[in-house]
């Protein structure tokens, strides 16, 4: 009996608390707040801002925590007014109002701040405020949640950040680059998995619903945009992350970080990516990484060291070990791809292609693997051709792989297009095709290690 009474009291108290919270949300005049909120919303959502303003203003002043729509549409209303301002003084006044609405949004709904500050930065750019203010908002956005930043703002933030710090603190630039690329990579992996599932459904003969079609298109657009960000980030970093900068920097930091797994992983990855592997520091760092974190990622780097030492068999043992303990297909694909890069560096082009295809087996949408194969083919034009025509046809095979890359992976569209343009510039001209007595569109077998049949352009 006491238990039932206790439960009843508990439920009553919870209902009382919920009622109080609801009343707090809508202020001291909840019914008036709800009415004004409804009136404002119905007008604002269709862009009829004049009659929306007064009920909006009342809600902002009397029940500012009642709805996020107060800020979503309040900002739109203020920005609409700003675009119609007729004098600098009027524009300045409205600009201040826009910032005040953003400040209230952050104060009353402190969630999703990565996107909020990113949008705020966009608003400042439109209003042509000093760049320092834009940078401050982008910094807040990045600190709160880089995944909430727009594609454009991720690149803009890193560009501005690099300019400020490249000479005084290059390590901070590298760390920030890693943070951003990890955020971008995580987004791309998420979108790629969703896109792969939808493509697989189509391939199995099933029709996508209208909702799935929209999602598929959105993911393709998102991946294309994110791929451009990766390229822009690399371009921005390229002048800072040179071997001449990296090696002395990491030499000076190695002793204090030799047990820091995160630091080692990033440092080893960057030295490998930038081709700074000839210095004695690199194998030393890789071994420290293996000891600090005996993981599949570390084993793949270690396999590369062993190959450089000529210990191929031992290297393959570590490589196979890395693959065997990894359960995520996307990570396996990345390791196979890294193996392909190692073989390419070693000059083992056929083996590099084998690893690239293994990567594609784990992740069919890995366009970078097709681009690697395209590059392997293009670099073999002189050795796999016996005359001008046969040499130029190798570039057609390379172009085909680059086209395939773009078709399976929207994230590398921009890069793939550059490859295609470059390769087709070296393909046989119509005049050469005619001179050779060949027919455009007919099949042509490329020999050598490539062994591909392509169409004559």
Listed residue (193, 229, 184, 180) closest to 330, CA to CA: 193
Q: Is the pLDDT of residue 320 over 70?
A: yes
Query: Closest Cα partner for 396 from 381, 415, 416?
Result: 381
pLDDT computed for residue 9 by the predictor: 36
Q: Is residue 186 part of a domain?
A: yes
pLDDT band at 36 (very low <50, low <70, confident <90, very high): very high
Note whether residue 423 is domain-resident. Answer: yes
Domain that holds residue 50: 29-155
Q: Mean pLDDT, to the nearest integer, of 9-25?
A: 46
pLDDT of residue 101: 97
* 3-class secondary structure, 452: strand
What is the longest distance spanned by two Cα atoms in the chain? 102
- 321 domain residue, yes or no: no
Q: Place 342 in a pLDDT band, splitting at 50, 70 and 90.
A: confident
Predicted local distance difference test score (pLDDT) of residue 12: 37
116 and 180 in one domain? no
Asked if residue 139 and residue 107 are part of one domain, the reply reads yes
175 pLDDT more than 90: no
- Domain membership of residue 232 (yes or no) is yes
Q: Is residue 134 over pLDDT 90? A: yes
Residue 432 in domain: yes
Alpha helices in 63-149 (DSSP H): 69-83, 88-108, 113-126, 131-144
With contact defined as beta carbons under 8 Å apart, do 285 and 271 qualify? Answer: yes
* pLDDT at residue 11, as a whole number: 37
pLDDT > 90? residue 234: no
Span 289-298, average pLDDT: 92
The pLDDT, as a whole number, for residue 31 is: 95
User: Which region among 99-108, 300-309, 360-369, 442-451 has the lowest average model confidence (pLDDT)?
Assistant: 300-309
Question: Is the pLDDT assigned to residue 22 strictly greater than 80?
Answer: no
- Residue 336's closest CA among 314, 347, 351, 348? 351
Q: Each residue of 177-228: pLDDT tens digit? A: 888 888 788 888 888 889 989 988 988 899 999 999 999 998 888 888 887 7
Residues 142 and 194 occupy one common structural domain: no
Q: How far is CA 156 from CA 88, 108, 160, 236, 320, in A?
A: 27, 28, 6, 10, 40
Q: Are residues 444 and 377 in the same domain?
A: yes
Mean confidence (pLDDT) of the chain: 89
Flag whether 316 is in a domain.
no
Question: Above 50 in pLDDT, residue 172?
Answer: yes
The domain boundary, picked from 155, 185, 213, lies at 155
* pLDDT at 24 (0 to 100): 80
Position 429 in a domain: yes
Which of 48-62, 133-147, 270-284 holds the top average pLDDT? 48-62
Residues 93 and 148 in one domain: yes
Q: Are residues 127 and 176 in the same domain?
A: no
Q: Are residues 136 and 188 in the same domain?
A: no
Q: Are residues 142 and 71 in the same domain?
A: yes
Percent with pLDDT over 70 in the chain: 95
Same domain, 151 and 175: no
Question: Is the distance from CB of 27 to CB of 63 less than 8 angstroms?
Answer: yes
Q: What is the pLDDT of residue 8?
A: 39
On whether both 115 and 193 belong to a single domain, the answer is: no
Q: What is the CATH number of the domain that holds 34?
A: 1.25.40.10
428-436 average pLDDT score: 93
Q: Among the listed ranges 311-315, 368-372, 415-419, which one has the minimum average pLDDT value? A: 311-315
Task: Tell me how far apart the alpha carbons of residues 157 and 149 are, in angstroms, rounded to a whole number.
Answer: 10
Asked if residue 140 and residue 182 are part of one domain, the reply reads: no
Structural domains in the chain (count): 3
The answer on 417 and 369 residing in a single domain is yes
Inter-residue contact 60 to 74 (CB < 8 Å):
yes
Would you list the DSSP string of 360-404? HHH-TT-HHHHHHHHHHHHTTHHHH-SSHHHHHHHHHHHHHHHHH
CB within 8 Å of 374: residues ≥ 6 apart: 398, 399, 400, 401, 402, 405, 419, 423
**Which region, left, alpha or beta, applies to residue 113 given φ > 0 means left and ψ of -120 to 50 means alpha?**
alpha
Q: Is 4 exposed, middle or buried (0-12, 13-18, 19+ CB in 10 A)?
A: exposed
> Which of 89, 77, 18 lies closest to 52 in space, CA to CA?
77
- Per-residue pLDDT at 229: 77
The answer to whether residue 176 scores a pLDDT higher than 90 is no
**Residue 227 CA from chain centroid, whole number:** 6
Average pLDDT over residues 102-122: 95
Query: What local confidence, expressed as pLDDT, does residue 19 receive?
Result: 43
Q: Which residue has the higher pLDDT, 413 or 102?
A: 102
Residue ending a domain, among 188, 208, 238, is: 238
Strands 452-455 and 443-446: antiparallel
Residue 6 has a pLDDT of: 43
């Amino acid at each position: 009996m006491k238990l039932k009474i206790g439960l009843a009291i508990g439920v009553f108290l919870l209902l009382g608390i919920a009622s109080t919270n609801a009343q707090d949300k809508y202020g001291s005049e909840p019914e008036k707040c709800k009415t004004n909120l409804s009136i404002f919303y119905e007008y604002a959502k269709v862009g009829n801002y004049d009659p929306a303003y007064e009920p909006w203003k009342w809600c902002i002043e009397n029940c500012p925590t009642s709805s996020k729509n107060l800020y979503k549409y309040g900002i739109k209303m203020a920005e609409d007014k700003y675009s119609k301002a007729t004098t600098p003084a009027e524009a300045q006044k409205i600009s201040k109002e826009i910032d005040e609405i953003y400040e209230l949004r952050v104060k009353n709904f402190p969630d999703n701040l990565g996107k909020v500050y990113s949008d705020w930065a966009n608003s400042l750019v439109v209003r042509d405020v000093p760049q320092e203010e834009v940078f401050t908002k982008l910094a807040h956005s990045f600190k709160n949640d880089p995944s909430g930043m727009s594609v454009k703002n991720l690149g803009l933030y890193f560009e501005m950040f690099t300019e400020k710090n490249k000479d005084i603190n290059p390590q901070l630039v590298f760390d920030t680059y890693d943070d951003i690329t990890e955020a971008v990579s995580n987004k791309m992996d998420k979108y790629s998995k969703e896109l792969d599932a939808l493509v697989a459904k189509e391939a199995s003969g099933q029709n996508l619903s209208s909702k799935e079609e929209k999602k598929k298109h959105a993911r393709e657009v998102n991946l294309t945009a994110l791929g451009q960000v990766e390229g822009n980030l690399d371009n921005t970093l390229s002048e800072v992350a040179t071997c001449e900068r990296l090696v002395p920097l990491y030499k000076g930091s190695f002793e204090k970080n030799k047990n820091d797994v995160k630091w080692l992983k990033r440092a080893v990855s960057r030295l490998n990516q930038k081709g700074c592997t000839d210095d004695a520091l690199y194998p030393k760092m890789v071994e420290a990484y293996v000891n600090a974190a005996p993981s599949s990622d570390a084993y793949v780097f270690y396999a590369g060291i062993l190959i450089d030492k000529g210990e191929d068999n031992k290297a393959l043992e570590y490589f196979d070990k890395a693959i065997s303990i990894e359960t995520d297909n996307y990570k396996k694909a990345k390791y196979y791809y890294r193996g392909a890069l190692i073989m390419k560096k070693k000059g083992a082009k056929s083996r590099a292609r084998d690893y690239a295809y293994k990567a594609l087996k784990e992740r069919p949408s890995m366009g970078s693997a097709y681009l690697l194969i395209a590059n392997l083919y293009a670099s073999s034009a002189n050795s796999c051709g016996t005359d001008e025509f046969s040499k130029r046809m190798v570039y057609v095979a390379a172009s085909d792989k680059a086209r395939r890359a773009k078709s399976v992976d929207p994230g590398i569209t921009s890069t793939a297009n550059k490859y295609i343009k470059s390769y087709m510039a070296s393909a046989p001209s119509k005049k050469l095709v005619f001179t050779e007595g060949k027919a455009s569109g007919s099949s042509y077998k490329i020999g050598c290690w490539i062994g591909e049949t392509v169409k004559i352009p």
